[in-house]
Structure 1
Amino acid sequence: MRIRNLATFVKVAHLGSFHAASQQLHASQPAISARIAALEEELGVKLFQRDKSGTRITARGAQLLPYAEKLLAISQEMREQVSEDKPERGTFRVGIADTLAYLWLSPLLQLWQSNHPLLSFELTNDVTPTLTHQLQQHQIDLALMVANETLAPDLVVEPLCSYPQCWVAAPSLVGQQQHLTLDTLATFPILSFPRDTHPWHYLQQLFSKCEEPPVVHTCSAVAGLLMMAEQGLGVTFLPEPLVKKPLEQGRLVMIKTEETPPELSFCYSWRLDDDRILPRLLAESGRSIIDVSLA
C-alpha cells in the first residue's frame, strides 16, 4: 500500500473535492483520480461517491480514514527519527562508570558534541547498581557500566569493551614481594570499589578461601583508589589501562597471585521502552572510538 495514495485519500476526504486536493498536492486531477482508483482496487472497496452534487466519502471510506491518518503520522515520525538532517535538541542524560569516565569521558564527549552540536549532555559518574536503578527510574537515558548477567530484562544491553585486571601496590608497601599467596595478600589492606559492585563481590569470593579475611577499604573513584595505592595505603586490583602509566613510572608494581583476576567487561544500556534512535547512535559512535583504541 503506497503512502502517497493514502495521503491523497486523506486530503480528498478532508477537502471533499478531487479538484481542491489536486491543487494542494500540486498534481493533476487525473493523477489524483488514478491514486484513489489504485487504492480502491487494492482494498476492494469504493471510497468516494462522485456525482453532480459533488464528492462524498462512503461508509467504507469513513471507516478507513482514521487508520490512514495514523499510518501517515507514523510514516512522518519514522522519517523524522531516522533523518540525518534533523539536528537533535534538548538534554540527554548519560551515566558512566568511573573506570570508563577516567579513560574515555573526554574523547566520548568531544565526539558526541561534534555529532550532536545542539544537544546538551548531563553526565553522572557512579557505580553500576546505582546506574541501573537510575535507568529504570528514568533519571538517566544511557548508561556505560560494568556488564552484569543479572541486569534487568526491561533494559537493552549491548557489549562495549573488556579489560584484563591486575593486582598492584606501591613498592614501599610490598617491597620486592611481587608474587604473593592469597593468605599473604590478605595480610595487607585491600582497596576496592564499593560494596555490591562486581569487583567487591569478586573479593568476597576470592578471600573466602583464606583463614583470615583482609581489611577492605572502598572508594567509588578511580582517582581515589590510584592515589591511595600509590601512597602505600593498600593493595588493589584494577583494569590494566588504569595502571599502565603508574607501572611504567615505577609508582606502582604489579603483584602476581595464584589466581588471576577476571577481565572486567563493560556495556551500554538503555531502557527497552525508549524508542528514540539517539541512545543507539551515541552507543555506536562511542564504541567506534574504543574499538579503534583496542585494535
Structure 2
Amino acid sequence: MTLGQLRTFALVAKLGSLHAAAAHLGVSEPAVSSALAALRQDLCDPLFVRAHGGISLTPGGRALAEYAQDIVGLADKARREVAHAQTETGRLKIVATAPFAEHAAGRLLDLFSRRVPGASVDVVVEQAEDMGSMMLERVYDIALGARPPAPNGAGDVGIDSVPFLRYQRVVVAAAGHPLASQHGPVALTELLARPWFAGPAGIQAASEEGRWLASQGVAPEIVRLSSETEALAAVRAGEGTMMALGHIVRDEIRSGALVRVPVAGTPVAGLWWASTLDRHRATTMALTLQRFAATADATAAMVAPGGSRGLERRGSKFHVALWS
C-alpha cells in the first residue's frame, strides 16, 4: 500500500468514477486501474464494483475511503509544513500577557532561539481576554502567559493549552510601611484603603489572582504603572503595596528590604500556559515551543535569579533581549 495508491483510491471514491479520477490526476485510466488493482490485492478486498457507469464501494471500500482521506490530508499537511519551514525559516508569531512578557519571556525565548536552529520570534503583548479570538483568526501562532479564555459563543474553542510554569503572587510592602508590622491576617478591605500598584495590565481577570480578587467581591482602584518593575520600585519607596511574583521578590523578602503582608487568602497560586491551535492546525514550530516551555531547562532559565528576564521594545513589537 503506497501513498500514491491511497490518493488515487480516495479520488475515485470521491468522484465515483475511474475515468473522472484519471482526468483529474492527468493520467490514463489504465494507470488508475493498475493502482487500484495493487491496492485490492494488498487488502484482499474488491473495494468497489462497477455500477451504472461509475462505481459502488463495498463495505471494505467505504472503511478504506475514510482512512485514505485522512492519510492523504495528513501527507499534504506535512508537505505544507515543510515548505513553510523552508520559506519562513521557523518564524513564530507570539502573543503574550504583560506579566509573562516582562518577567520570563526574554529568558525563555532567548534559550529557545539558541536551542532550535533557524527559529525567530516576534512577540506582541495583548490582554488575555483578547488572545483566544486572535489565535482562532491565526493572527498569532502561540500564546504565552495567562490561559486564553474561550471567545463568546466559541463553544469548543479549538485551542490546546499546556501549563509550563507555576508561580505565586504575594502582597508586599516596604519594611517601613504601616502594614509591614502586622503579623496576623490582614483584611483585604484594610489593604484597599491604601495605594495598590500594578503593571500596565493591572490585575487581569483571566489570571488566578484576578479570579481570586473577583471572588472577594471587591473592585480596588489600582494604580497602573508602565511596568511591574516600576510598580515594585514605588513599593520599595514606601508608597503602597502590590501583588508581586514570589520568585521575583524572594531575595528582597529574605534580606528584609520588602515584607510580605499576610493578607487572608494569599499567596495566590497561578500557572502560565503555552497555548496553540489544536493539534491539526498548529504549526510545527509553535508545537516545538509549547513542548520546550515545559522542560526543566526552560523553567530553570525563567526563575533563575539576577539578570534581564523581559523583552526589549522596538517600535510596535517586542523582540528577544539577548544577553551573554
TM-score, normalised to structure 2's length?
0.62
- Aligned-residue CA RMSD (Å): 4.2
Aligned positions, number: 261
What does residue 216 of structure 2 align with?
206
What does residue 308 of structure 2 align with?
none
What does residue 38 of structure 1 align with?
38
What does residue 230 of structure 2 align with?
224
**Secondary structure, counterpart of 1:233 in structure 2:** coil
Q: Distance in 1 between matches of 2:220 and 2:161?
A: 34
Q: Distance in 2 between matches of 1:274 and 1:45?
A: 31
Matches within 5 A, 1:75-114: 76-80=75-79, 89=89, 91-114=91-114
**Secondary structure, counterpart of 1:92 in structure 2:** strand
Partner amino acid, structure 1, of 2:293 = G
The higher radius of gyration belongs to 1
Q: Distance in 1 between matches of 2:79 and 2:115?
A: 17
Q: Is the 8 A contact 2:180 2:260 kept in 1?
A: no
Indicate how the Cα distance of structure 1 residues 270 and 219 shifts in structure 2: closer, same or farther if over 3 A, else same: farther
Tell me by how many angstroms 1:235 deviates: 0.7
Matches within 5 A, 1:129-148: 129-147=129-147
| CA deviations over 1:196-226 (Å, ceiling 9, x no partner) | 5333453354374xxxx86532347322322
2:202 to 162, 184, 194: 194
Indicate how the Cα distance of structure 1 residues 75 and 287 shifts in structure 2: closer, same or farther if over 3 A, else same: closer
Tell me by how many angstroms 1:267 deviates: 1.4
What does residue 313 of structure 2 align with?
none
Q: Distance in 1 between matches of 2:180 and 2:103?
A: 29
What does residue 74 of structure 1 align with?
73
Q: Is the 8 A contact 1:207 1:214 kept in 2?
A: no
Mapped pair 1:261 → 2:267: yes
Tell me by how many angstroms 1:254 deviates: 1.4
Mapped pair 1:167 → 2:177: no
Indicate how the Cα distance of structure 1 residues 70 and 205 shifts in structure 2: closer, same or farther if over 3 A, else same: closer
| CA deviations over 1:101-125 (Å, ceiling 9, x no partner) | 3332233212332354434311123
Indicate how the Cα distance of structure 1 residues 39 and 200 shifts in structure 2: closer, same or farther if over 3 A, else same: closer
Q: Is the 8 A contact 1:170 1:252 kept in 2?
A: yes
Q: Which ranges in structure 1 are unaligned for 5 or more consecutive residues?
A: 22-31, 48-57
**Secondary structure, counterpart of 1:110 in structure 2:** helix
**Secondary structure, counterpart of 1:258 in structure 2:** coil
**Secondary structure, counterpart of 2:202 in structure 1:** coil
Q: Distance in 1 between matches of 2:7 and 2:281?
A: 28
Q: Is the 8 A contact 1:92 1:122 kept in 2?
A: yes
% identical equivalent positions: 17
Tell me by how many angstroms 1:285 deviates: 0.8
Q: Is the 8 A contact 1:81 1:276 kept in 2?
A: no
Indicate how the Cα distance of structure 1 residues 74 and 181 shifts in structure 2: closer, same or farther if over 3 A, else same: closer
What does residue 317 of structure 2 align with?
none
Tell me by how many angstroms 1:170 deviates: 1.3
Tell me by how many angstroms 1:89 deviates: 2.4
Q: Which ranges in structure 2 are unaligned for 5 or more consecutive residues?
A: 10-20, 304-324
Tell me by how many angstroms 1:240 deviates: 0.6
Q: Is the 8 A contact 1:95 1:131 kept in 2?
A: yes
Q: Is the 8 A contact 1:194 1:220 kept in 2?
A: no
Q: Distance in 1 between matches of 2:196 and 2:180?
A: 18
| CA deviations over 1:48-107 (Å, ceiling 9, x no partner) | xxxxxxxxxx9559xx9xx89977853533544787xx6562632111223323332233
Q: Is the 8 A contact 1:168 1:254 kept in 2?
A: yes
**Secondary structure, counterpart of 2:122 in structure 1:** strand
Indicate how the Cα distance of structure 1 residues 186 and 103 shifts in structure 2: closer, same or farther if over 3 A, else same: closer
Q: Is the 8 A contact 1:96 1:126 kept in 2?
A: yes
Indicate how the Cα distance of structure 1 residues 277 and 250 shifts in structure 2: closer, same or farther if over 3 A, else same: same
